Amino acid sequence: QQPVQSPQAVILREGEDAVINCSSSKALYSVHWYRQKHGEAPVFLMILLKGGEQKGHEKISASFNEKKQQSSLYLTASQLSYSGTYFCGTEKYGGSQGNLIFGKGTKLSVKP
């Protein structure tokens, strides 16, 4: 079952913050976050495995709620290089070796 991402698109000015959400109707084994620039491969940002987990990667961080049904990606003090499409990929319990179902993506545009 495909996770639901919101918003579908967001436009920011440099230095502004954004939150991207990814939700599922069932508890998940893990959530992966990726950023993809046009015509390029998705780039792995981080993986969350535990309910209540929070992880940071410079000014990009993410959380996984206690019920493991929702994850949020936080982008603070955005930079031009943050522009791209952000995908969450979810792994269900009982799935095989990390096979991911991706959300439809959130297109982030950072303007000067």
Partner 1 sequence: AAGVIQSPRHLIKEKRETATLKCYPIPRHDTVYWYQQGPGQDPQFLISFYEKMQSDKGSIPDRFSAQQFSDYHSELNMSSLELGDSALYFCASSKTSGSRLGQYFGPGTRLTVT
The nearer residue to partner 1, 54 or 77, going by C-beta atoms, is 54
Asked whether the bond before 7 is cis by omega within 30 degrees of 0, the reply is yes
Q: Are 103 and 91 in contact (CB under 8 A)?
A: no
Taking the complex as a whole, how short is the minimal distance between the CB of residue 21 and partner 1, in angstroms?
Answer: 16
Residue 1 is a binding residue for partner 1 (CB under 8 A) = no
Q: Which stretch binds partner 1 (CB under 8 A): 16-24, 63-71, 75-83, 88-96?
A: 88-96
Q: Which stretch binds partner 1 (CB under 8 A): 16-24, 34-42, 55-63, 69-77?
A: 34-42
Residue 89 is a binding residue for partner 1 (CB under 8 A) = yes
Estimate to the nearest angstrom the gap between the alpha carbon of 64 and the chain centroid. Answer: 10
Rounded to a whole number of angstroms, the CA Rg of the chain reads 13
CB under 8 Å to 25, separation ≥6 — which residues?
Answer: 1, 69
Residues that bind partner 1 (CB under 8 A): 30, 32, 34, 40-47, 49, 87, 89, 95-105
